[in-house]
Amino acid sequence: MSEDSFDLVVLGGGSGGYAAAIRATELGMSVALVESDKLGGTCLHRGCIPTKALLHAAEVADVTRESAEYGILSQFNGVDMVGVNAYRDNIVAKKYKGLQGLIKQRGIEVVEGRGKLTSPTTVTVGDRVLTAKNVVLATGSYSKSLPGLEIGGRVITSETALLMDYVPASVAILGGGVIGVEFASVWKSLGANVTIIEGLPHLVPNEEETISKNLERAFRKRGIDFTVGVRFQSVSQDDQGVVVTLENGETVTADILLVAVGRGAATEGNGFEEVGITMDRGYVITDDRLATSVPGVYAVGDIVPGLQLAHRGYQQGFFVAEEIAGLNPLLVPDINIPKVTYCEPEIASVGLSEAKAIEHYGAEKVSAYEYNLAGNGKSEILGTAGIVKVVRVVDGPVVGVHMIGARVGELVGEAQLVVNWEAQPEDIAPLVHAHPTQNESLGEAFLYLAGKPLHTL
Ligand SMILES: Cc1cc2nc3c(=O)[nH]c(=O)nc-3n(C[C@H](O)[C@H](O)[C@H](O)COP(=O)(O)OP(=O)(O)OC[C@H]3O[C@@H](n4cnc5c(N)ncnc54)[C@H](O)[C@@H]3O)c2cc1C
């Protein structure tokens, strides 16, 4: 056994872990970053980046099919999935190389191998013992299934879906949350027949209801089938495909079933409980400053209950490094972290839904405005439909922004700034939004709520 000592040991080199490592070195700490697979974790290799590359390829397919509408003559001759995957893998490889270089330049020691927390100040990796005053746990998440639903063969998770070198003729997708609707969108654009099965009353059930309804309308128009409000019962598979049975007796047949029912915390076998860390169903319980029940040990990213998003991991990693350095940093609560779902049409939101705002402030203290993208020049040019809904406290700040439409993910930067800065529509109304941009739709909503509507009544 060899023993090495650092200021900080980070267990897991995904978004949360590597952000903690980078910020800690910026603050002068010596850092060991333990990773059993590839730096960059789920987001870079199996999550955000590869799926968004697929979604872009899917958009290219749609644009090619529809190009005559814009007076451009082209022919859609099909999908070369090997080519699509090569494009995607090339992006991942470039980003991976960049990240490896960045970590090296920062002087972070990457320790390859599976690490185990063996005491509050020790992580053991093979025959190396890494000691530090502080440890950050960042071991991420895995695709969950349902009790009795076995993954294998034609029943797959997103990890396997990303490895497929063909477009299935038909797909059933269990789960109408973010991952489910994104894959539905990709496969539909690439030519598959898609059916989503969602047990809750709406697709993207964590979004404002009006956004879910808009998405359902858009998906219907795109020919994406879905059932909502009925739960999955069982699945059988043979050489021909899968048959999914719902609790109401209805069946869905398809070539494959993608199980997209959420992600669990990847903490098993990492020694956390043995060291005395409080856990709940695999998740690491922390206080509101990300400290675990064991002094000196922090947790970040998907293993901490709440939103499972890469940028939440980044902020938590940054936060913990600064906390350890005694900088008393600010942590943005989950509700004010921007969320984007990259299906077509895109969804983006931050802050409270109108219903939650009413619950919080009372109906008489909340006002909301829904701007229809039909009035926005750039949206018309792009040929997209959708809405921007802004929720405010009467005589108070904007507390929520909810959007759907092509490319609205790019608008969430302004939305999160407004919500987190607790700006009032009256503060923003005099500020200028460039024309023609989709940003103007936010501007129009703020103008309306400030009592001086421009292109709206
Ligand atoms: C299909 C899909 C699409 C997604 N799209 C988006 C998106 O568009 N935007 C977004 O914000 N988020 C997206 N996410 C979520 C995002 O990927 C995660 O929130 C993010 O990766 C979490 O970061 P993390 O650091 O907590 O964990 P991870 O990224 O999972 O990293 C954990 C790392 O720890 C390593 N590890 C685990 N145990 C050990 C051990 N014992 N020893 C050593 N190493 C260990 C793992 O190998 C892994 O590299 C998506 C996820 C999926 C699955």
Ligand 1 pocket, residue 313 CB under 6 Å = yes
Q: Are 366 and 315 members of one domain?
A: no
Q: Provide mean pLDDT across the span 143-158.
A: 96
Residue with tokens 């043995």: 274
* pLDDT value of residue 171: 98
Predicted local distance difference test score (pLDDT) of residue 289? 98
Measure the CA–CA gap between 413 and 428, rounded to whole angstroms.
14
Kindly state whether residue 146 falls inside one of the protein's structural domains: no
Q: Are residues 175 and 281 in the same domain?
A: no
**Number of domains composing the chain:** 3
Rounded CA-CA distance 207/435 in Å is 28
* 14 CB near ligand 1 (under 6 Å): yes
> Does residue 400 fall inside a structural domain?
yes
Ligand 1 atom 49: the closest Cα is on which residue? 41
367 forms beta bridges with 392
**Residue 376 Cα, ligand 1 centroid: separation in angstroms?**
37
- Structure-token pair, residue 125: 């990796």
C-alpha–C-alpha distance, residues 350 and 363, integer Å: 20
Dump the DSSP string for 192-253.
-EEEEEESSSSSSTTS-HHHHHHHHHHHHHHT-EEEES--EEEEEE-SS-EEEEETTS-EEE
35 lines ligand 1 (CB under 6 A): yes
pLDDT tens digit string along 344-378?
A: 999 999 999 999 999 999 999 999 999 999 999 99
In a domain, 149, yes or no: no
Residue 424 has pLDDT above 90, yes or no: yes
Q: Are residues 130 and 177 in the same domain?
A: no
Say how far apart CA 442 and CA 440 lie, in whole Å: 5
Q: How far is the CA of 185 from the centre of ligand 1 (A)?
A: 22
Residues 184 and 257 grouped into a single domain: yes
Q: Which residue owns the Cα nearest ligand 1 atom 6? A: 48
> Do 350 and 442 share a domain, yes or no?
yes
Q: Coil, strand or helix: which one is 240? A: coil
Q: What is the mean pLDDT of residues 219-246?
A: 97
- Ligand 1 geometric centre to CA of 140 (Å): 5
Band (147; pLDDT cuts 50, 70, 90): very high
> 138 C-alpha vs ligand 1 centroid, how far in Å?
9
Residue 456 sits at φ, ψ, to 5 deg, of -125, 165
Three-state SS letters, 329-393:
CCCCCHHHCCEEECCCCEEEEEECCHHHHHHHHCHHHEEEEEEEHHHCHHHHHHCCCCEEEEEEE
Alpha-carbon 451 to chain mean position: 35
What is the Cβ-side half-sphere exposure of residue 123, based on CA atoms within 13 angstroms? Answer: 34
How do beta strands 170-174 and 31-35 pair? unpaired
* 225 closest CA partner among 247, 253, 245, 206: 253
Whether 64 and 95 map to the same domain: the answer is yes
Pairing of strands 232-237, 339-341: unpaired
Q: Tell me the CA–centroid distance for residue 44 and ligand 1, in Å.
A: 8
Query: What pLDDT shows up at residue 314?
Result: 98
> Residue 164's closest CA among 84, 242, 87, 95?
84
More confident site: 3 or 66? 66
| Residue in the block written with tokens 């024309």 | 435
> What's the pLDDT score for residue 456?
84
User: 33, 43, 304: which to mutate for ligand 1, most atoms within 8 A of CB?
Assistant: 43
323 lines ligand 1 (CB under 6 A): no
Whether residues 299 and 218 share a domain: the answer is no
Q: Are residues 212 and 292 in the same domain?
A: no
Would the CB of 441 count as within 6 Å of ligand 1? no
Task: Indicate whether residue 15 lines ligand 1 (CB < 6 A).
Answer: yes
CA distance linking residue 138 with residue 315, whole number of Å? 13
pLDDT, tens only, 67-107: 999 999 999 999 999 999 999 999 999 999 999 999 999 99
Q: Catalytic residue among 45, 56, 435, 455, which?
A: 435
Q: Which structural domain, as residue segments, surrounds residue 106?
A: 2-141+264-334
Q: Quick one: average pLDDT of 16-31?
A: 98
Q: 2 pLDDT exceeds 90?
A: no
Asked which of 196, 230, 261 is the last residue of a domain, the reply is 261
Q: Tell whether the torsion through CA atoms of 34, 40, 45 and 46 is positive or negative.
A: positive
- Out of 42, 204, 339, mutate this one to test ligand 1's pocket (max ligand atoms within 8 Å of CB): namely 42
Whether 268 and 217 share a structural domain: no
**φ, ψ of residue 290 in degrees (nearest 5):** 65, 15
Domain boundary (334, 366, 384) is at 334
Centre of ligand 1 from the C-alpha of residue 302, in Å: 7
Q: Is 85 in the pocket of ligand 1 (CB under 6 A)?
A: no
Identify whether the C-beta of residue 121 lies closer than 8 Å to the C-beta of residue 135: yes
Same domain for 414 and 292? no
Q: What distance in angstroms lies between residue 236's CA and the mean position of ligand 1's atoms? A: 30
132 and 24, same domain (yes or no):
yes
Calculate how far, in angstroms, residue 141's C-alpha sits from the geometric centre of ligand 1: 6
Question: Whole-prediction pTM value?
Answer: 0.97
Whether 269 shows a pLDDT value over 90: the answer reads yes
In a domain, 150, yes or no: no
User: Is the predicted pLDDT of residue 157 greater than 90, yes or no?
Assistant: yes
Q: Is residue 93 part of a domain?
A: yes
DSSP conformation letters of 68-128: GGGT---------HHHHHHHHHHHHHHHHHHHHHHHHHTT-EEEES-EEEEETTEEEETTE
Ligand 1 contacts CB of residue 309 (under 6 A): yes
Nearest atom in ligand 1 to 302's CA:
26
Give the CATH number, domain containing residue 297. Answer: 3.50.50.60
Residue 31: its H or E element: strand 31-35
How distant, in Å, are the alpha carbons of 68, 75, 196, 385, 394 from that of 72? 5, 10, 33, 21, 48
Q: Report the residue among 9, 11, 15 best suited for mutation to probe ligand 1: largest number of ligand atoms under 8 A from its CB.
A: 15
Same structural domain, 16 and 107: yes
Confidence of residue 66 (pLDDT cuts 50, 70, 90): very high
**How big is the CA angle at 262 (ends 35 and 252), to the nearest 5 degrees?**
130
The verdict on residue 456 lying in a domain is no
Percent of the chain with pLDDT over 90: 98
Across the chain, what does the average pLDDT equal? 97
Burial class (CB in 10 A: 0-12, 13-18, 19+), 328: exposed
Please say if the pLDDT value at position 112 is more than 90. yes
pLDDT-derived band at 3, boundaries 50, 70, 90: confident
Residue 51 near ligand 1, beta carbon < 6 Å: yes
Position 102 scores a pLDDT of 98
CATH of the domain at 355: 3.30.390.30
Predicted confidence (pLDDT) per residue in 274-333, tens digit: 999 999 999 999 999 999 999 999 999 999 999 999 999 999 999 999 999 999 999 999
Residue 435 annotated to the active site: yes
Q: Does residue 195 have a pLDDT over 90?
A: yes
Ligand 1 pocket, residue 13 CB under 6 Å: yes
Max CA separation in the chain (angstroms): 73
- Last residue of some domain: 245, 261, 277? 261
The reply to whether 455 falls in a domain is: no
Residue 358 resides in a domain: yes
Q: Whose CA is closest to atom 51 on ligand 1?
A: 47
